[in-house]
Amino acid sequence: MPNQQLILKGGVETVEFGPIHMVVLGFPEIDRLKGEVLKEIFRLSQAGIIRVIGLLAIVKDERGNIESVQLTELSDEDRIKLGAGIGALIGLGAAGKKGAMAGAEAGAMVVAEKDFGLSSEQVMDIAKEIPKGSAAGILLFEHLWAKKLKELVIKVDGIVLAQGVIEPRALVALGAELAEGAKAAEKVKIK
């Protein structure tokens, strides 16, 4: 019997989705969103490193006029599968197996009705917080490079014990804490 976390696709056991990552970006000038950043996102996508699940770009011109664009590389079928999967996991945490079933249904419906999981009212609420003459982007992407690794770990009954993103600011803060600890240790030398 195939591992329950793997699906059979074309006679091969595979994972449906790789790890998903969200990045929220702000740009002091509208043109900075349109240039090299978008080119790099598209390059990574074309190289098969990531898949854009959702990209929401919001710009507010100097007069306060707001424009937004949303895009995805997911087919409608994949969007519904992903929404159902996310909803099921949230439901499982909230109410066990019954919650997972209800969450899967709700998640599939949300992505079927809304782009990027956000209504136009929610996009406008985000846009109101953006200063005039600037832009923001919300990028939700799948790490395609990690799918094979995930498949191999699952096949050998391995599990992810922890994962996360280490921001440079966290490393700077850690270094400062270590320096303070070293200074304190110097003062309290054991004799």
Whether 186 is covered by a domain: the verdict is: no
Domain count, the chain: 1
**How far is Cα 129 from Cα 106, in angstroms, rounded to an integer?**
29
Whether 102 is covered by a domain: the verdict is: yes
Whether 168 is covered by a domain: the verdict is: no
Q: Which domain holds residue 11?
A: 7-158
Whether 36 is covered by a domain: the verdict is: yes
Whether 24 is covered by a domain: the verdict is: yes
Q: Which two tokens stand for residue 85?
A: 């999967």
- pLDDT tens digits, the chain, 191 residues: what are they? 333 455 545 544 556 788 889 898 999 988 887 778 889 999 999 999 999 999 999 999 999 999 988 889 988 888 888 888 888 888 888 888 898 899 889 888 888 776 556 777 888 888 888 999 999 999 999 999 988 888 888 889 898 888 888 888 888 888 888 888 888 888 876 55
Whether 28 is covered by a domain: the verdict is: yes
CA 56 centroid distance within chain: 12
**pTM recorded for the entire structure:** 0.74
**How far is Cα 154 from Cα 16, in angstroms, rounded to an integer?**
12
Whether 173 is covered by a domain: the verdict is: no
